[in-house]
Structure 1
Amino acid sequence: MTSVWESVTVDAGDPARLARWWAEALGYQVVTEKPDEVEIRQSAERLPGIVFVPVAAAKESKNRLHFDLRPDDQEAEVERLVDMGARHVDVGQGDAGWTMLADPEGNEFCVLRQQG
């Protein structure tokens, strides 16, 4: 017996705002929007989704789970995401092959170099 990956859930102070930010960043669409959860996916019928749920507590430390994005052009994608409201963060990664950013609520994610 195995499981199917349905979604990953992200705690958020403002789930609708953060879901829309990630939808724009990934080229996804909002497929469900309720007061207690907002879900984005590549398309309504395609899994997995990313579900954003409200929490009152602010983020306090580095994420234990994060997204890795692999664009065709790392430098251009980092610039685009920063222009959208992401910010550079240092979690001790040193001179790595990726750029660590944080979304508008401080959730870290990596923008990897292009393959090849």
Structure 2
Amino acid sequence: MSLRLYQIAVDARDPAALARFWAEVLDWRILLEDPDEVVVGADESAWPGMVFLAVPEEKAGKNRLHLDLAPEDRPAEVARLLALGAVLVDVGQPADAPWTVLADPEGNEFCILGPKHSLTV
């Protein structure tokens, strides 16, 4: 039996707003939207996607799972994401860490990696 990662589920107080943030971050599109669920992805046939699900409670504590994003230009991407509404976060990383920790508008941490993590295809 083989498995593929289909989508990453994210609880959200405001699924539409958070989905739009992540669609902009990843240059993806809104693929499905209703009041309790919003799906974003590169396109309808690309996996994985992300689904944002309505929950009543705020995020509490540090994420147990987070995304690592590999940009071509970390400083430029950090600046772009801050302008979109991300915030810098201190989770105890060293001051000279080769990554930057950010949080999305609902407080979910994610990392922007440095050049050594760049992927070559």
The match for 1:111 is: 112
**Runs of 4+ residues over 2 Å off in structure 1:** none
Give percent identity, aligned residues only.
Answer: 53
Deviation at 1:45, TM superposition (A): 1.2
Letter in 2 for 1:32: L
Query: Gaps spanning 5+ residues in structure 1: where?
Result: none
C-alpha separation in 2, matches of 1:76 and 1:70: 12
2:80 is matched with which residue? 80
- SS of residue paired to 2:53: strand
Mapping 1:11-26, distance limit 5 Å: 11-26=11-26
Question: Per-residue CA shift, 1:20-75, capped at 9, x if unaligned?
Answer: 00000100001010122100001111111100001111111010111111111000
Q: Distance in 2 between matches of 1:77 and 1:114?
A: 12
Q: What is the Cα deviation at residue 113 of structure 1?
A: 0.9
What does 1:1-116 correspond to in 2, within 5 Å? Answer: 1-94=1-94, 95-115=96-116
Give the residue type in structure 2 aligned to 1:34: D
Task: Output the CA distance in 2 between the equivalents of 1:84 and 1:102.
Answer: 11
Paired positions, count:
116
Report the Cα offset of residue 114 of structure 1: 2.3
What is the alpha-carbon distance in structure 1 between the residues aligned to residue 40 and residue 85 of structure 2?
Answer: 19
